[in-house]
A and B are shown apart, each in its own frame.
Chain A
């Protein structure tokens, strides 16, 4: 066995390579700047992680605030729509007509116009007693009229307290402004 072992390796052995060698302390000290870098990098990474965490917390808070504000906006939009629906209903011609009828209003079919420029009265003043002019109950459909005017009954005491003769009233304190002699135009013109 030993003879074989002595003769078996037929190829040349490679020259022995350098084996482990001792490292001097001086060369070990030379790596310390790397440690510094590693330390700095670690601290930097930690810093970034903490900053990220803080930013994340802040962002999350802002997201919640944003969601809350969006909810508020939705609520306000709903409120705005509810009020708009109510205003639409109350200002609809159907509600106004019914209200005027309940109040016993009468449209005077004998309009009288004053021309300031010509100092002239057009038309004959007549009391609005014609039943033809009485505002009629509403006949026009409106399925989206959800609100109607309430408390339209004028207290009798208030009616009685009204002056019987307007001519005896004192002149209005507000000055009358001339519009240059033109009959005031209708706001609907």
Chain B
């Protein structure tokens, strides 16, 4: 009964082995194909399916004031969300017993913390959805209180948010940054420095979508943004803003500015505005009121430009502070079809010195002073004083003001004349302040400085270097002009309201009519200004105050007192001792 297998077993074995070898060979080739040839592509496909790449946002740098006080920083806020489909009573242990807290009561607790009504909360948590936002950008204290309630259907999303701890202090300068990326002010100008570089990390997730803890790979490290230090002294800035807020309110003006400049360096110590935007809530002010008018709003300066006319005459050697001129009741501009210039008040023929013209702020008088210099020379001086050109600050949206071309002046005799008392040209408050800085600084016009630099380490900040300036007028002219300005404060009918006992102050007032764009006519309410330098014996600070469209006070008297208060604070804060030298006592009449 022995069964014998047909054929040769060894051959059969060989065939089987051969088949197996072929099979192994096929598998080997496929394996090589999968593991080596196509490996990268397959790996990438697989990784794509399970890997998640996430941007790690770089922390935005801080903006500091000159003393290191933080004016802008980035912190975490929390969005409070709920899953309405899961909303239900919350189990809570009370005196050792588990108690079910009804939804209405939980909603009332949430509402109390978020400072909204329970009805608002109820509206947002009732439903079948998986997501409902109860409140955005809640602060850390509120977040912690909510977490302590231990509500299983509440979710918290941490969001990095820009915060301005001092609110509207320097708000118009700082600008703001919204979640959608809209930027203004320093935030915009120094965005490259502040923003840093976002990082990137990737991790793998399991089938259930949960992150695999050990799989996080940082593919690009986030680089934190650097910090920006301003030259602004936030305490002084606050003081000036307080003064301007009350001034604008009292004058019922459209807006007001106060600029404080360090004469010998051009550093801006304060750039105060009213209204001033709180960058934490920029939407509360109109777009017009949010902007930095000190750099952006150009207007006809009026009589504050008479100082430049007088300085030009002195510098060209065509007259001195005691130059004798007539100030008639009216001045008829030659070849102008009877264009007549008068003063703010009716008067007979007055015999004034150049100093007296400034003290009285006589329009007819300054025309007789300025006409001794040919108009082309005066035009060149206005250009050298910085008119018609943006300052080197290059602040976002900065205006250049208006100085018409020489060709326009050549064909327009009225413009040539009225520019002597600040009409037909327009300047921004920063340009005006820098004109007075030039006079205080021995005739050297510097570039204004608003930012010390951009540093990663706040201890590395140094004062920004002061670049060489432009010698606009001679040192002697500067000294003589200062003496004239001092007499404005000592003897001027309005100028005297800016006097500070114990200090030698020089200033010029300005009550500028505002040109109606539709009719082309000049009328009130006025742009009133008071620009001053102190102390005259060693000029250190310029304070330039302007209120636009003052409705309750129709002269620069409305800003003389604010100037005095701000300048007093500057002298006190920066420890400037009272003057010990005597006034020049230049004559006003002849």
Which residues in A have some Cβ–Cβ distance to B below 8 Å? 9, 77-78, 81-82, 84-85, 88-89, 92-94, 97, 107, 109-111, 113, 115, 122-124, 132, 136, 138-146, 183-189
- Which A residues are in CB contact (< 8 Å) with B571? 111
B577 near A144 with CB under 8 A, answer: no
- Which B residues are in CB contact (< 8 Å) with A78? 140, 143-144
B242 near A110 with CB under 8 A, answer: no
- Given that A92-B167, A188-B233 are known contacts, is A143 also in contact with B278, CB under 8 Å in the complex? yes
Instruction: Scan residues 147-193 of chain B and give those whose CB is less than 8 A from a CB of chain A.
Output: 163-169
- Which A residues are in CB contact (< 8 Å) with B577? 113, 115, 122-123, 183
Chain A nearest CB: distance from B166 CB in Å?
5
Query: Number of B residues whose C-beta is below 8 Å from A?
Result: 45
7 contacts between A and B (CB under 8 A): A82-B140, A84-B75, A94-B238, A139-B241, A140-B245, A141-B281, A187-B67
- Given that A113-B577, A123-B502, A184-B575 are known contacts, is A140 also in contact with B140, CB under 8 Å in the complex? no
B280 at interface by CB-CB < 8 Å:
yes
B278 near A88 with CB under 8 A, answer: no
Chain B nearest CB: distance from A12 CB in Å?
12
B165 near A92 with CB under 8 A, answer: yes
Q: How far is the CA of A81 from the CA of B143 in the complex (A)?
A: 11
A140 near B167 with CB under 8 A, answer: yes
Chain A nearest CB: distance from B154 CB in Å?
16
| Partner pick for A82 among B144, B242, B280, B574, CB 8 A cutoff | B144
Q: Which secondary structure dominates chain A's binding surface?
A: loop
- Which B residues are in CB contact (< 8 Å) with A136? 242, 246
B235 near A85 with CB under 8 A, answer: no
Chain A nearest CB: distance from B536 CB in Å?
16
Chain B nearest CB: distance from A177 CB in Å?
18
- Which A residues are in CB contact (< 8 Å) with B481? none
- Given that A109-B568, A183-B577 are known contacts, is A93 also in contact with B278, CB under 8 Å in the complex? no
A122 near B580 with CB under 8 A, answer: yes
Q: How far is the CA of A144 from the CA of B278 in the complex (A)?
A: 9
| Partner pick for B242 among A92, A140, A183, A188, CB 8 A cutoff | A140
A138 near B242 with CB under 8 A, answer: yes
A141 near B278 with CB under 8 A, answer: yes
- Given that A85-B139, A85-B140, A144-B165 are known contacts, is A186 also in contact with B574, CB under 8 Å in the complex? yes
Q: How far is the CA of A58 from the CA of B379 in the complex (A)?
A: 85
B13 at interface by CB-CB < 8 Å:
no
- Which A residues are in CB contact (< 8 Å) with B502? 110, 122-124
